[in-house]
Amino acid sequence: MEDKQDLQRQNEELTAENERLLEQARQLAEVTRAYQESQSRFRAVFEASSLGNKIIGADLKILQVNAALIKLLGYSNKEEIIGTEILNYSPSERHKEWRYLQQQLWQHLAPSFSLETVLIRKDGSLIWCQVTSILFQDNGETLGYTIIEDITEQHKLRQQKEEFISVASHELKTPFTSLKAALQIINRLLEKDDIAIEQLRKLAKGAEKKRGKINLPYCRSVKHHQNRTRAAVTQPHYISGQ
């Protein structure tokens, strides 16, 4: 009788354990299916993006690239790029920017980092790029997902604008500089005429103020660009998480 009860109890325990294992198997299958679907969606977005996309490791080695980045860098296929370091496509004087990105992401664990830099195409030509990187986990490894946008034309237009402002500012200041010099000469010729001297001083002061106002927009433009460039290299730019 006792043996029968023991067998029944063992059978119930085995049945319960079997049901528990089946539930775990169902949960694992669900997680696996969700992961595969997520990976499939990610690959679709990665490959179809019109912007250059790449995945890099903590050593800045390129693990994956999309068609847009292959075209941007002037190559024919991904095999020419995968396995190389991003530093291979960066002028040596720009390496410090990528090292800073590496430090901010993998050492300081910043959620994202952006910088404006220059990359070298296969034919040796240079392109200005806006780079944005975030970290993500894949099979226990921390990788970097990077989006690269070609901003060469925007950079060229910005340079042209700054050069135009510089030239225009110089041309507009020249007449006031000449006027100030002429007034100084007249002032010396009329040293004994106090009334005339006072009027000339007012004219000279007014000319100097107008000259300063002409120079101000250019100074502000250059200072604004310098601040933007300095911030892009020395500070991480955070973007909202998904």
Q: Worst-scoring range by mean pLDDT, 10-19, 132-141, 199-208?
A: 199-208
CATH topology of domain 50-150: Beta-Lactamase (3.30.450)
Q: What is the pLDDT of residue 24?
A: 82
- Greater confidence (202 vs 72) lies with 72
- Greater confidence (202 vs 70) lies with 70
What average pLDDT score do residues 148-165 get? 82
Question: For the chain, what are the domain ranges?
Answer: 50-150, 155-234
Distance CA 171, CA 11 (A): 99
Distance CA 238, CA 112 (A): 5
Contact, 58 vs 102, CB < 8 A?
Answer: yes
Contact, 145 vs 136, CB < 8 A?
Answer: yes
Q: What is the pLDDT of residue 9?
A: 76
What average pLDDT score do residues 187-204 get? 61
- Greater confidence (109 vs 58) lies with 58
Does residue 185 have a pLDDT over 70? no
Predicted confidence band at 170 (pLDDT cuts at 50, 70, 90)? low
What average pLDDT score do residues 137-155 get? 92
Predicted confidence band at 22 (pLDDT cuts at 50, 70, 90)? confident
Predicted confidence band at 99 (pLDDT cuts at 50, 70, 90)? very high
Q: Worst-scoring range by mean pLDDT, 1-10, 73-82, 163-172?
A: 163-172
Does residue 224 have a pLDDT over 90? no
Question: Can you give the C-alpha Rg of the chain in angstroms?
Answer: 33
Predicted confidence band at 179 (pLDDT cuts at 50, 70, 90)? low
What average pLDDT score do residues 228-238 get? 42
Across the chain, which distance is largest between two alpha carbons, in Å?
137
Distance CA 161, CA 224 (A): 13
